Amino acid sequence: MEDVRFKGKGKIFSYTVIRVPPSGFKFYAPYVVAIVDLDEGCKIVTQVVDVDLDNVKIGMPVTTCFRKIREDNNSGIILYGFKFKPDTGENKDAEENAGHHMKTGGPMEGRRQEPPSGRNPHSGKASHYI
């Protein structure tokens, strides 16, 4: 595995609406889960937020945002992470969070991207691993 830097922008490649969610996600139903084709060429599975279900379209530009993933009712722990939302060109989330780090491997082996030269991959910017 190696660290890879992504800008956090892409387009919806495919999606589905989850109407009967698993335990821990019932509060959010119905919600959209999509395969997003990132600008760098790899695809990831993610939740799409801040959009009406009827307005989600294949090819829709999206950008990352930092959101609540779920809350553990037993311990009260709230889990946060990255999701995607429509990219209107007006929001700054992608620019502020640019340079996400993701672990790659397995089926993504052939699609690895090197971090831009001269940039520290551990610069203190928000990062996550998938």
Which are the contacts of 86, defined by CB distance < 8 A and separation ≥ 6?
A: 48, 50, 51, 55, 60, 61, 62, 63
113 compared with 61, residue with greater pLDDT = 61
pLDDT tens, 19-56? 999 887 888 899 999 999 999 989 999 999 999 999 99
Taking the model in full, what pTM does it have? Answer: 0.65
Domains of the chain: which residue ranges? 7-98
Provide the CATH topology of domain 7-98.
OB fold (Dihydrolipoamide Acetyltransferase, E2P) (2.40.50)
Q: Is the pLDDT of residue 130 over 60?
A: no
- Mean pLDDT, rounded, of the chain: 76
Q: Name the pLDDT band for 121 (thresholds 50, 70, 90).
A: very low
Res 92: pLDDT: 56
The answer for residues whose C-beta is within 8 angstroms of residue 60's C-beta and 6 or more apart is: 11, 12, 86
